[in-house]
Structure 1
């Protein structure tokens, strides 16, 4: 707070309603008509939610020129929002486009950062539009509004600091994307074999489903796995907080492979490093082939080719499940054990870099995000008289 005091230099902070400092616009005229999105098209189609960029359109009319006038897009039902400074179209009219009434009194970027310090305040079952009924009446701290020049100077310093953290996180995220693409490339190169180059065996020839059972009274949050928390890497993290209290569970042991067996979790997989239990939504595969590395088998199965095969053969209409008999027919390439270990050593390094939550880029991004949120709270928490 000493830094904030120094920044204010004794100037008072007044609390003003957002409606006094912002305008809003319905995005109707910027809605996309076509549902055909392609990466080679130029204009992004946005939503204020987590997905953000839904795809790209070739439409040339009704483009909002945010490169000339940045805007906050605000989902009127969920309160999710995004800062946008590039040209775009929108998917839905269920949002508001927020701008500053006058940038010489309140910077839109300052408003955006402050907006994200607010709890949503949503009530379950509340489907009303939030901006007019709720958010436009929220009070935002404006430093010395009677001295616009000094106010903008203070706002700009706060924005500059938070922009630095945002830029760093964006750089790390771009680096992670590049590493994931590199990982996918090496996976394709290392796990592609000609039909006659190596021996091929069906999964049933090298492994089997676990038939062991373990009582739920032997399970806790450290060894019970469900599809909602089935991850490739979760070092040191709690596995589950929803442990059943009675019945039986399929037992897994170290070096077993756990695979999601119900949509939308058919692309989730985990390599076991302990003994524990799981439910019927997770398949437990145990290796019984001595000339096959467990970690190599995991890398073969933790691949889009297997996930696509699994989804293709899944059965059931309302909630499709993996076809257990078909899964065991999946063909596994088996190079010499030395080659398996070489492949594993390379892919495991990428796996740590791109997936690990205790090291690698995901951990770095998580730390930077927490740092950004900490300073955002410090810089935008003003005493209210």
Structure 2
């Protein structure tokens, strides 16, 4: 029998009390700050509409080891800060009384995150209402049981954090060596993309006809963090539309796609011949393989030096765009083809180690995360003892109903 089983049998053999979150803890809205009060670095991070700090403040309004919920923007995201921080007005902080551990509430909220996300109102700015948070029902076992659950679950999260840090270090190492290889792979030989490609085009500038089936229609959102295209889409165009497109706009194996509007600067290597179409937000480059290897071009366009060129080329206020003319003038180092092939072999192997979800650290991280979620659900599920606490409004309605009868 585990230590947790012993505690449950000793302290709550008949189940535990469930409460609405609003009756178990204090849910406090943060205080607004303006950008003039923020800096790019500092002692106290400011959380507003995401788990990434909006900036840093000279003051804090919540102490370290506090759980918080984002209610606008990345609405429904659950955070936990191990340092003092400033919660802005779209960030709700959880303040716990004696008898409730803040870290325990953090794991509970993660376990119920899908329920919260289902309550997010989708609009121009997604929002999560206070009532959706307050009405979440949670188990509140004795403090000793909360501590033991936190200890077990934190062991999982610490291991995942260590693996994630190692993966981040490997990716940083990959970026360093990729940039070194690209920088040292030529002797003054730099070419513009238009000198390396047979064609540089983009997708159709007109909205394509819709179809229930046919050729997949992809957007930038269908490109994942591994620079791969998810073709399991819900949008299609008729085969006739695809057949009418110019050849340079119909992707084929060896082409390189490049996002040029909004989330610009993401290269994608086309590794197989599969039909799909896209609009002008994505450019398509057809390398001249007598000059440059397609896979080498993909790696070069993913390099730090090329990203800097993209930042300089992107124009516009609301939505940054790299024009095709500007893209064509951007440059890459072009060593002899045999050198390109050697670089590709090195970088492909390194990228696979860093990115392939079927091997190495990413697979281990994914497995640990699933293990954590499995045990979190198991550990945070209790039998009710019949003493579930209603909210004050529900208690009032129940008392009124009893009086009427």
Shorter-chain TM-score: which interval?
Answer: 0.7 to 0.9
- Correspondence 1:1-385 to 2 at 5 A: 8-9=8-9, 10-28=13-31, 34-38=37-41, 41-47=42-48, 49-51=50-52, 53-57=53-57, 59=58, 61-62=59-60, 64-66=62-64, 70-77=65-72, 78-90=75-87, 92-102=88-98, 105-118=99-112, 119-120=115-116, 121-122=118-119, 124=121, 130-131=129-130, 133-143=131-141, 151-193=142-184, 197-209=187-199, 225-231=218-224, 233=226, 238-246=230-238, 247-248=241-242, 250-264=249-263, 266-275=264-273, 276-280=275-279, 281-315=281-315, 319-384=319-384
CA contact (8 A) 2:223 2:230 kept: no
Aligned-pair CA distance for 1:4: 7.6
TM-fit CA distance, 1:83: 1.4
TM-score, normalised to structure 2's length? 0.76
Distance 2:224 2:127 in 1: 36
Q: Greater relative contact order (Cα 8 A, min sep 6): structure 1 or 2?
A: 2
1:96 positional shift: 2.4
Whether contact under 8 Å (1:230, 1:260) holds in the other structure is no
Q: 1:203, 1:329 within 8 Å by CA — same for their partners in 2? A: yes
- Secondary structure (helix, strand or coil) at the match of 2:276 reads strand
Q: Which runs of 5+ in 1 are unaligned?
A: 144-150
Say which structure is richer in helix. 2
CA shift digits 1:222-254 (9 cap, x unpaired): xx543212247467x843413323322532122
Name stretches of at least 5 consecutive residues in structure 2 with no aligned partner. 387-405
Instruction: Output the CA distance in 2 between the equivalents of 1:372 and 1:366.
Output: 10
Q: Please give the root-mean-square deviation of Cα atoms over the aligned residues, in Å.
A: 3.5
Secondary structure of the 2:286 match is strand
Aligned residues between the structures: 360
Whole-Å separation in 2 of the counterparts to 1:16 and 1:318: 45
Query: Deviation string for 1:113-145 (max 9, x for gaps)?
Result: 1122221142536988734x34334322123xx
Q: Helix, strand or coil for the counterpart of 1:328?
A: helix
